[in-house]
Chains A and B, each alone.
Chain A
Amino acid sequence: MNWYDIIFYLFAALVLVSGFLVVTAKNIVHAAFYLLFTFFGVAGIYALLGADFISIVQIMVYVGGILVLILFGVMLTNKITNVDIRTGTVKVLPAAIVIGIFAGALLALMVKTGWYSNPGQIPETTLPVLGKTLITQYVLIFELLGMLLLVALIGAASIARRDKE
């Protein structure tokens, strides 16, 4: 057990515990805040895997963008004055059984498969390589994603807009 492992377990615990709380929390605002910790944990996991840039993007986009969006969604769709900000659940038991079986199968799959593992040298920073690859080999995808974001932006605006009566 070296420091790397200890940190990994800490982050993994953070991710799993807060993730569990997200899906079980009764209060939707609480769930959103637990989600914040999950995202932080995942960002830590990325950092451990040597993906520094992805880790930063995770924090910026998820925490800074998506989570805020979700909170706005909560605010706009639940009457704050109304105390009932809780959210109901349905058929917990059968769902838990099915998902449990599924998780077991997935775990067995992950553990039993003989994965090819050949960890290479982690570069000092992945940023130059990422940037170069992004505008050479993956440039088409990059441009398409730009278009997609634009479309999503316009689409979201036009869907959420109030209809002119």
Chain B
Amino acid sequence: MLVVGLTHYLVLSAFLFSLGLYGIVTRKNAIMVLMGIELMLNAANINFVAFSRYGNYGIGGQLAALFVIILAAAEAAIALAIVLNIYKTFANVDVDDINNLKE
């Protein structure tokens, strides 16, 4: 049980994923939501790399993780640009106030 194997990594990533989800659901600030998303992406990445290591599937898993990191970078840039725009329009960045599309 204490000897580290694949399952340990998976459990770790499951916890991290849940934490990210919790962050997304409970926080009001859009930037905090973004941080939650980053946590979830990291959790997924841990899974990729862990399977790449233990499944002996070659390098594909690591490459997938690399691609995710690249996407995360692009996503962060775009998301923050959007947040800045929202801030200009509404003077705050609380996601629950931004529901103009509702009506």
Contact = CB atoms under 8 A, between A and B. Distances in A.
Given A16-B12, A51-B65, A117-B6, A99 B21 contact: yes
Interface residues of A, number: 82
A98 B92 CA distance: 28
B28 A88 contact: yes
A118 B5 CA distance: 10
B12 A99 contact: no
Greatest chain B CB density within 10 A among A19, A87, A155 is at A19
A8 to B, nearest CB: 5
A16 B19 contact: yes
B39 to A, nearest CB: 6
A117 B2 CA distance: 17
Contacts of B77: 69, 152-153, 156
Contacts, number: 233
B29 A51 contact: no
Contacts of B54: 115, 117-119
Contacts of B78: 152, 155-156, 159
A90 interface: yes
B98 interface: no
Greatest chain B CB density within 10 A among A23, A31, A88 is at A23
B35 A133 contact: no
Nearest to A151: B74
A80 interface: no
Interface in A1-58: 1, 4-5, 8-9, 12, 15-16, 19-20, 22-23, 28, 31-32, 35, 38-39, 42, 45-46, 49-51, 53-54, 57-58
A156 B70 CA distance: 15
Interface of A: 1, 4-5, 8-9, 12, 15-16, 19-20, 22-23, 28, 31-32, 35, 38-39, 42, 45-46, 49-51, 53-54, 57-58, 61-62, 65-66, 69-70, 72-74, 76-77, 87-92, 95-96, 98-99, 102-103, 106-107, 109-111, 115-120, 122, 126, 129-130, 133-134, 138, 141, 145, 148-149, 151-153, 155-157, 159-160, 162
14 contacts: A5-B4, A23-B36, A32-B35, A35-B35, A38-B16, A45-B49, A69-B76, A70-B80, A77-B92, A92-B26, A99-B21, A111-B11, A130-B59, A162-B88
